[in-house]
A and B are shown apart, each in its own frame.
Chain A
Amino acid sequence: MTEHAKLVGSGAAEVVVARKVSHAFDTATAPIQVLFDVDFALRQGEFVILTGPSGAGKTTLMTLIGALRSLQAGSLIVLGKELSGLSGEGQREIRRKVGFIFQDHNLFEALTAFQTLALAMELSGDKISSGEARARSAKLLSSLGMEGHLDRKPRQQSTGQKQRIAIARALINNPPIILADEPTAALDKETAGLVIDLIRRRVDSNKTSVVMVTHDSRVFPAADRIVNMVDGRIAGVR
């Protein structure tokens, strides 16, 4: 496999293709360049881990892929759509097809687990009944080891359980892409294993593509590729 082929992956259809993506942040003194001509690709049904030291540009690359930031330079095609110059509505369209898992769960205290998932399901555009929505939510929570938690609010859940509800929120609409930032950081070994298994199953059975930023070595064996970033560049691929 050539060096470029390693960087961009090969074989299956590419759901993310980044070419010469650069990005800088304005500061009070001068712009700080965080990404330098990054080439990256993610295939359908591929699980990629982004790793590297703090400030390497991993998060910035993820936010660009998720259309959470506007692209400044280069080309980034996500699910067949060029993100360069994309309108606000276009960005929202991409976001709706991406499952985001953040380090913090960011759950509304007022909503039960089911209401949280139901809110996410509103975005799917599917016309499903409340009964179907409950069944789907219960099944997903069960696969995350949370049977019987459907009607509990965040204050009735542990930190790990809240994180799993946030993961369920990202997965409930079966997004073709999942972008996860340290999803196992708040979880014990057993629960982390459950979450990784679930994500891996999604990759294998649903052909979901995953980009995960993590330093948790427990996750590494589940990944197809591990991309190491240093100083805004891709330094290596395993």
Chain B
Amino acid sequence: MRTRLGLGARLLLHNKVRLAVASASVAVGVIIIFVELGFLLGILDAQSLIATLAKGDLLVMNIARVDLHRWDNLYPVRLDQVAAQPGVARVTPVFEDHVGLEDKSDKRVRRIILYAFPPDDVPLDIGDPEQISRRLKVSHGFLYDRLSRPIFGSFKPGDEVKIDKFPLLVGGYVRMGADIVNDGNIVISEGDWLNRFPDAKPIMGVVHLKPGADLETVRRDILLHVPEDVVVLTPWETKMREYESTLRVAPVGILFLVGMLAGLVIGTINCYQVLYNEISDRLPQFATLKAMGFSNAYLRRVILEQSFVLSLSGFAVGLTLSYLADYYIASQTVLPVGLGAATALFVGCLTVAMCAIAGLIAIRRVAIADPAELY
């Protein structure tokens, strides 16, 4: 005859206050892992933001632009050469530069990133394309990134703002986001930008393929027929390349990996201490089970079941608190720090593994329960 709920789960669920404290101590490790991972992914996502936002099949960039924060432009003719390849429907140029935006309230000029592209072919997923197109066509107008850090002041449509000393009108808003270095973005039309800087060169070309065109064939054609100073990547490849570049160039990877490991170790130690106390407090009962004929394997299962219950409850508490922490961090840093389902699943598996390790160590404690000592 077997009871539905295992002994390990029953022992833990019996004392709710004790379970809450135990869950909280395991959650400490979970929260550290979540926050560190959230930071890391937030930074990586922020650094590769433009690749995520690009709405196209391929991106063409200068081969010297090994990461998205370099300013190596393309010769404009390269975009025409790419557009001439069979399978390519069109290529949309994207210009990028940094400009000074003056805050009306304190007259301070702050650096902000400017993007420019043709209003009729919005190449970035930053809002309703029709609205963006309509607003960008207003001469001397610009769209302000709502997700910029609040250091630039507040703007409303119709306000006149000086950008590099030229007055421009706020035409509306887009949604992009800041990264570690850049605090915000504005968007203007390609025409306005070229009007001011006729020699400006695009930083990127967003390539749209003809229906049915094979991506790899088009890529091969481009690389074959366009001079070798370009690189052709999909937006996803660009994003992954940026991840890799950020991790290689900046010490954030190691920094957050060490942080995650610290969370893992802290969580394991806390879980072990909880299990150790659970076993120690019930050593005579466990010895009694041995005297009755239960095997060490059964007792191991009880402890591992306890570690599994702890991992679930600790994860639930950790997930809730991490969500709140990430919400706060995101609101303060304007970095895309957040919990995706994949991240949560990964940390969930890590938590189960963490508690299983603690359980396997704690099992040694139950092994010393000596039934002969009961008499």
Q: Mark A95-133, 1 if CB is under 8 A from B, else 0.
A: 110001011101111110001001111110011111011
Give every chain A residue within 8 A of B371 (Cβ-Cβ). 68, 95
Q: Tell me the bound Cα distance from A40 to B292 in angstroms.
A: 23
Q: Tell me the bound Cα distance from A169 to B372 in angstroms.
A: 18
Q: Is A93 in the interface zone, CB < 8 Å from B?
A: yes
Q: Mark B358-375, 1 if CB is under 8 A from A, else 0.
A: 000000000000011011
Q: Is the CB of A92 within 8 A of B374?
A: no
Stretch at the interface among B5-13, B253-261, B308-316: B5-13
Q: Which of A36-60 contact B (CB under 8 A)?
A: 59
Q: Tell me the bound Cα distance from A163 to B289 in angstroms.
A: 16
Q: Is A201 in the interface zone, CB < 8 Å from B?
A: no
Q: Tell me the bound Cα distance from A213 to B374 in angstroms.
A: 13
Give every chain A residue within 8 A of B1 (Cβ-Cβ). 118, 121-122, 126-130, 132-133
Q: Tell me the bound Cα distance from A103 to B291 in angstroms.
A: 14
Query: How many residues of chain A are within 8 Å of chain B by beta carbon?
Result: 38
Q: Is the CB of B375 within 8 A of A119?
A: no
Give every chain A residue within 8 A of B288 (Cβ-Cβ). 100, 102, 106
Give every chain A residue within 8 A of B375 (Cβ-Cβ). 59, 62-63, 68, 102-103, 181, 213
Q: Is the CB of B291 within 8 A of A68?
A: yes
Q: Which among A66, A68, A96, A115 is the interface contact of B10 at CB below 8 angstroms? A: A115
Q: Is the CB of A115 within 8 A of B3?
A: yes
Q: Which of B1-41 contact A (CB under 8 A)?
A: 1-3, 7, 10-11, 13-15
> What residue of chain B has the Cβ atom nearest to residue A59's Cβ?
B375
Q: Is the CB of B285 within 8 A of A92?
A: no
Q: Is the CB of A110 within 8 A of B284?
A: no
Q: Is the CB of A108 within 8 A of B7?
A: yes
> What residue of chain A has the Cβ atom nearest to residue B288's Cβ?
A106
Q: Tell me the bound Cα distance from A108 to B285 in angstroms.
A: 6
Q: Is the CB of A95 within 8 A of B3?
A: no
Give every chain B residue within 8 A of A123 (Cβ-Cβ). 292-294
Q: Which among B11, B285, B292 is the interface contact of A120 at CB below 8 angstroms? A: B292
Give every chain B residue within 8 A of A213 (Cβ-Cβ). 375
Give every chain A residue within 8 A of B293 (Cβ-Cβ). 92-93, 95-96, 123
Give every chain B residue within 8 A of A133 (Cβ-Cβ). 1
Chain B residues near A (Cβ < 8 Å): 1-3, 7, 10-11, 13-15, 282, 284-285, 287-288, 290-295, 371-372, 374-375
Chain A residues near B (Cβ < 8 Å): 59, 62-63, 66, 68-69, 89, 92-93, 95-96, 100, 102-104, 106-111, 115, 118-123, 126-130, 132-133, 169, 181, 213
Given contact pairs A110-B11, A123-B294, enumerate 8 new A-B contacts (beta carbons under 8 Å): A63-B375, A89-B295, A95-B292, A110-B14, A111-B7, A123-B293, A127-B1, A129-B1
